[in-house]
Chain A
Amino acid sequence: MALKFLVVDDSVTMRRIVANSLKSIGYDNFVEASDGKEALTKLNSDDSINFVITDWNMPEVSGLELVRAIRSDEKRQAIPILMVTTRGLKEDILEALQAKVNNYIVKPFTPQILREKIEQILASA
């Protein structure tokens, strides 16, 4: 199955860095959204998106709210979600886990970590 990523981050810099990292590890099929609200719109209009990489702190709909929205949507609840965030406190990680993210990356990250987490998610899917 061809992977199509949705990269969600309100920082233009981070969207570019995640996109560049994806390209550097061999994934070049992705779309971008600047917050959770735009991400939900893109998910609703593009059925080919099958992997979400999201930041946590964003305006409108936050990353955590996005995860909860996806998990409560029968049609999309199985989409793998990787959270990439500055929030490195144990409480934050556990809150994300409770919302049912598949994996978690604390910024700053390397393309190798990104590859490792994507592969872990795909292997357990």
Chain B
Amino acid sequence: MENKLSMEQVFEKLGDLKQFFIFGQKIVPLFKKIIDFMTDIVPLLENVNNSIQDTTSKIPKAAHQINSVTSATEIATSEILDIVDSMSNDMTKIKNELSDLKNGFLNQRVALDAFAQKVPASSETLEELKSNLSIDELESKVISLEEVINKIELDATNITISLQVQDITAQQLASVNHLIHSVQEKLSSLMVDFNKQEGFVLLDTETPKVDPKVFNPNAKYDRSEAHQSVADQLIEQAKRNNNDNGNKTSQEEIDKLFRNNG
């Protein structure tokens, strides 16, 4: 009786074992697939890790290059402004000289007229002299030169306006550097996580930090004056509100301006 019971237990265990082998037959291909996947994925992860390391090490160089661009454009802009200043000074001198010339023509005319009055008999000779002196012709040349000078001055002003692009692009580049710094921080923390087991030490390749206060991420070079027009409207409206309310700009009024201007 006892032997029968033992045999039943043995058969039961063998049944379990059989189930286990059947399960094993099913699971082994899955393990094999996992192992194959790991074999494929590990080099890939190593590749990703190496790429991140490589990229992270290159980021500071890129950030420094951006800073170099900003410095270079600032120096170049300063040089251009020196030239524009020098041109403006020269233009002022030329304008003064031309003004003196115009006064000279006027004085010549006055002197000739005075002489003609003193010596009426000489009027014919004086007219001939006037004609030979070509005062009118020379004066009109001076006037046209003044117009050219005025145009050059206007061009110089336009160059100065255009040079404001340096400040605007410097802010855009600072914004890019700020972004680069954030990306580098994330990548560095990823690298530390990847290499935790190996006592990994992160290389000191920090990008220069950019204070977010120093740039406007929305800075753009736009000469359309659309933004200026909005500013003018808001200032005008604020002035009207101030006049109505005894020079106070309350939060309520600011909210009202927001509502009125969409």
Contacts and interface: CB of A to CB of B under 8 A. Distances in A.
A94 B227 contact: no
Given A58-B213, A62-B213, A94-B258, A20 B81 contact: yes
Interface stretch (B30-38, B113-121, B194-202, B233-241): B233-241
Interface stretch (B19-27, B61-69, B156-164): B156-164
A110 to B, nearest CB: 6
A53 B230 CA distance: 20
A100 interface: yes
A107 B251 CA distance: 27
Interface string B219-243: 1111100111011001100110000
Interface in B155-211: 157, 160-168, 170-171, 211
A103 interface: yes
B219 A86 contact: yes
B216 A57 contact: yes
A17 B157 contact: no
A5 B170 CA distance: 25
Contacts of B219: 86-87
Given A17-B163, A98-B251, A104 B216 contact: no
B261 interface: yes
Nearest to B258: A94
Interface in B83-107: 84-85
Given A59-B213, A89-B218, A107 B78 contact: no
B41 interface: no
B160 A12 contact: no
B254 A97 contact: yes
A93 B231 contact: yes
Given A59-B214, A98-B251, A88 B74 contact: no
Interface size grouping (class) on chain A = 35 or more
B249 interface: yes
Interface in A63-89: 85-89
B216 A56 contact: yes
B164 A108 contact: yes
A12 B234 contact: no
A12 B74 contact: yes
Contact of A88 (B85, B230, B249, B257): B230
A110 B85 CA distance: 16
Contacts of A90: 230, 234, 258, 261
B167 A86 contact: yes
A19 B219 CA distance: 22
A124 to B, nearest CB: 7
A11 interface: yes
Interface of B: 74, 77-78, 81, 84-85, 157, 160-168, 170-171, 211, 213-216, 218-223, 226-228, 230-231, 234-235, 238-239, 249, 251, 254, 257-258, 261
21 contacts: A12-B74, A12-B78, A14-B167, A20-B85, A20-B160, A57-B214, A57-B215, A57-B216, A58-B213, A86-B171, A88-B218, A88-B226, A93-B235, A97-B234, A97-B257, A98-B251, A100-B249, A106-B228, A107-B167, A108-B161, A108-B165
Can you list the 4 inter-chain pairs with the closest CB atoms, starting with the nearest? A88-B227, A86-B219, A108-B164, A106-B227
